[in-house]
Amino acid sequence: MTFREIYNQARQELHKELQLSSIEAVPRLVKVSINIGAGVAVSDGNFIAKVMGELAQITGQKPVITKAHKSIAGFKLREGAPIGVKVTLRGQRMFDFLDKLVNVSLPRVRDFQGIPQDSFDGHGNYTLGLKEHIVFPEITLDNIEKTFGLAVTIHTTAPTDELAKRLLTKLHFPFKE
């Protein structure tokens, strides 16, 4: 069963459980944003290019460079300097990424106990932080000089965190008890 089929089945189950008038009232996944803050890039110019290449391998989509909005002398940061990369996934790429995240990458995290339940933002969106990008199967350890963390934000149409959590639970996200 594909992740999209699991998603459609989960929405049908939520429609019945919540006794909503229309299937369109059931929360949906809108997009997944992956963000990597690469503060090391201030001193190492090649680091952003390496991070972009590895994020493109993980997501199957070309990342966008994020730049500093203002200069901060304490961090040796100039306005317009590259400080990270991001990708926004929608449609089939989003479903493929979430499938890989839930079924392959999260179980590969060292000492994995589940994902935290308190990482919702109050508007039905969930953010998950991963400390190392090497948990993704596309990354080979032979080519890695530095590991980096990434933040994965799952955007939903759910008006409350509870509804978003119910949707993600139906999609087999492994929340901590």
- What pLDDT does residue 107 have? 86
Query: Strand, coil or helix: what is 163?
Result: helix
Asked, for residue 46, whether it belongs to a domain, the answer is: yes
Write the DSSP assignment of 9-48 as a string of letters. HHHHHHHHHHT-S-GGGS--EEEEEEEEE-GGGGT-TTHH
* pLDDT at 132 exceeding the cut of 70: yes
Asked, for residue 17, whether it belongs to a domain, the answer is: no
pTM above 0.85, yes or no: yes
Query: What pLDDT band is residue 45 in, cutting at 50, 70 and 90?
Result: low
Residue span of the structural domain in which 128 resides: 3-12+28-171
Determine whether 26 is exposed, middle or buried from the number of CB atoms within 10 Å of its CB (0-12, 13-18, 19+): buried
In this structure, what CATH number is given to the domain that contains residue 120?
3.30.1440.10
Query: What pLDDT band is residue 147 in, cutting at 50, 70 and 90?
Result: confident
Where do the H-state alpha helices sit in the chain?
3-18, 47-59, 91-100, 161-170
- What pLDDT does residue 39 have? 67
Asked, for residue 18, whether it belongs to a domain, the answer is: no
Query: What pLDDT band is residue 62 in, cutting at 50, 70 and 90?
Result: very high
Asked, for residue 176, whether it belongs to a domain, the answer is: no
What is the tally of structural domains in the chain?
1
| Tens-place pLDDT, residues 87-121 | 999 999 999 999 999 988 888 888 888 888 888 99
Closest by Cα among 43, 129, 35, 44 to 84: 35
Distances (CA, A) of 109 to 74, 102, 128, 141, 158: 34, 11, 13, 15, 28
